[in-house]
Structure 1
Amino acid sequence: MASPKRTEKLQIMLDDEELKVIDDWRFEHRMPTRAAAIRELIRRGLVAEDIDEPDTEGKSTTDFRVEPE
C-alpha cells in the first residue's frame, strides 16, 4: 500500500536538547529518517489517551522541555 502523498511542509525550531532526544528515539526505534521519526512521534501523541491536557494559560505553546527517560 502506498503512503499518502505529502503536500504540506512544516518548519519548527528545536533546541539542541530536544533534537538529541528525537534523534536518540529515532535510532532506538530504527526509523529511517528524522522526519519519519517526528511523524511517528506526532502520530503517537495524537492517538494517546492518557496524556494530560497542556497548560497553555498565559504561556506560549512553544515553551516546553522534553524530559529524557
Structure 2
Amino acid sequence: MRELEERVAHLIRAVEDLSDVVAAQASEIDRLTRMVGMLAAREAEREAGFAEAPEASVKPPHW
C-alpha cells in the first residue's frame, strides 16, 4: 500500500509540473500571437504606403 501511495504522490507531482509548463506555454503563445498580429498590421500599413509611392520605372524629376 505504501508503494502505491508513493507512486501516486510522484504522479501527482508530475501532473502539477506539466500543468505549470502548459500554462507557461499558453501564456507565451498568447504573447507571440499578439506580436504576430501587430507585425501583420504594420506590414499591411507599409504595403499600403507603397501603393502611394512613385513607380520604380519613373525617373525622378532631377534627371
Higher alpha-carbon Rg? 2
| Class of the TM-score when normalised by the shorter of the 2 chains | under 0.3
Greater helix share, 1 or 2? 2
Higher RCO, Cα 8 Å, sep 6+: 1
> Could you state the TM-score of these two structures normalised by the residue count of structure 1?
0.25
TM-score between the two structures when normalised by the length of structure 2: 0.27
